[in-house]
């Protein structure tokens, strides 16, 4: 049986429509219980701020939580270094997502920065329906492979027969725009205004291998 094997490729640009905001809060104290209480108080304050910005209670999600001991390496009178206990750190990483709106983003960041919780903030632009983008890539890869196979058959005087094999290794795709959004803490606290920006499109590529019988 004669066959033809072709790799189909696809490339699309997806416009971001979702803001992903990461919030990292850390509370420290020499007493573990006190560090935990500080973390709980900061979380309570953060939730109130977000509710004031129009978020529902369950929209703030936890992506990481840990309590760890911290040490400092210090020299003694003989110049030998030793680990000295500094205290406990309660680290809580959270995130919240909302439709792309830079004015709302500026308002949210400004209100959060004005609180005592003072989390570290990170902004990313992504897409809500990532699966639709992946499906479009697959469709384009399949169409590209068939066009190539038909052209090769036409050029060689053969005809394309039955599809006998598809090889596709689905990998994770980076659904994050390369656009960066950052404002200094003082700027965030001073103003809730925002420059209207249009984040870069997300560039995605994929491929799959197809094999047909040829007549």
Exposure class string for 158-175: b at 16+ Cβ within 10 A, else e: eebbeeeeeeeeeeeeeb
The number of distinct structural domains making up the chain is 2
Average pLDDT over residues 178-183: 80
> Do 22 and 114 reside in the same domain of the chain?
yes
> Do 85 and 109 reside in the same domain of the chain?
yes
The CATH number that applies at residue 39 is 3.30.70.2970
Average pLDDT along the chain: 90
Q: Kindly state the helix (H) or strand (E) to which residue 62 belongs, with its residue range.
A: strand 61-75
> Do 58 and 107 reside in the same domain of the chain?
yes
> Do 136 and 118 reside in the same domain of the chain?
no
> Do 39 and 116 reside in the same domain of the chain?
yes
pTM here is 0.80
> Do 119 and 37 reside in the same domain of the chain?
yes
Per-residue model confidence (pLDDT) at position 90: 94
34: CB partners within 8 A, 6+ apart: none
The radius of gyration computed from the CA coordinates of the chain, to the nearest angstrom, equals 26
Distances from the Cα of 206 to the Cαs of 103, 130, 141, 210, in angstroms? 34, 14, 7, 14
pLDDT above 80 for 175: yes
> Do 30 and 117 reside in the same domain of the chain?
yes
pLDDT in tens, 135-159: 999 999 999 999 999 999 999 999 9
184: CB partners within 8 A, 6+ apart: none
Domain range for 28: 18-126
In terms of pLDDT, which residue wins out, 144 or 169? 144
Average pLDDT over residues 160-187: 84
Q: State the burial class of residue 142 (Cβ atoms within 10 Å of its Cβ: 0-12, 13-18, 19+).
A: middle
> Do 114 and 27 reside in the same domain of the chain?
yes
């Amino acid at each position: 049986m004669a066959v033809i094997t072709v790799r189909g490729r696809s490339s699309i640009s997806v416009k971001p429509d979702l803001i992903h905001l990461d919030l990292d809060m850390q509370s420290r104290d020499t007493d573990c219980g006190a560090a935990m209480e500080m973390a709980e108080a900061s979380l309570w304050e953060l939730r109130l701020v977000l509710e004031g910005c129009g978020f529902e209670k369950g929209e703030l999600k936890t992506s990481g939580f840990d309590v760890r001991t911290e040490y400092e390496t210090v020299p003694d009178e003989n110049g030998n270094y030793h680990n000295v206990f500094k205290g406990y750190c309660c680290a809580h990483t959270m995130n919240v997502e909302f439709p792309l709106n830079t004015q709302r983003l500026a308002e949210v960041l400004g209100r959060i920065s004005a609180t005592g919780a003072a989390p570290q903030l990170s902004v990313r632009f992504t897409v809500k329906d990532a699966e639709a983008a992946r499906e479009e890539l697959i469709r384009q890869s399949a169409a590209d492979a068939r066009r190539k196979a038909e052209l090769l058959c036409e050029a060689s005087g053969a005809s394309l027969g039955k599809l006998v094999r598809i090889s596709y290794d689905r990998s994770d795709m980076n659904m994050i725009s390369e656009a960066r959004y950052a404002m200094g803490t003082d700027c965030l606290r001073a103003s809730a205004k925002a420059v209207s920006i249009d984040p870069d499109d997300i560039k995605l590529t994929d491929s799959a291998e197809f094999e047909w019988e040829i007549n």
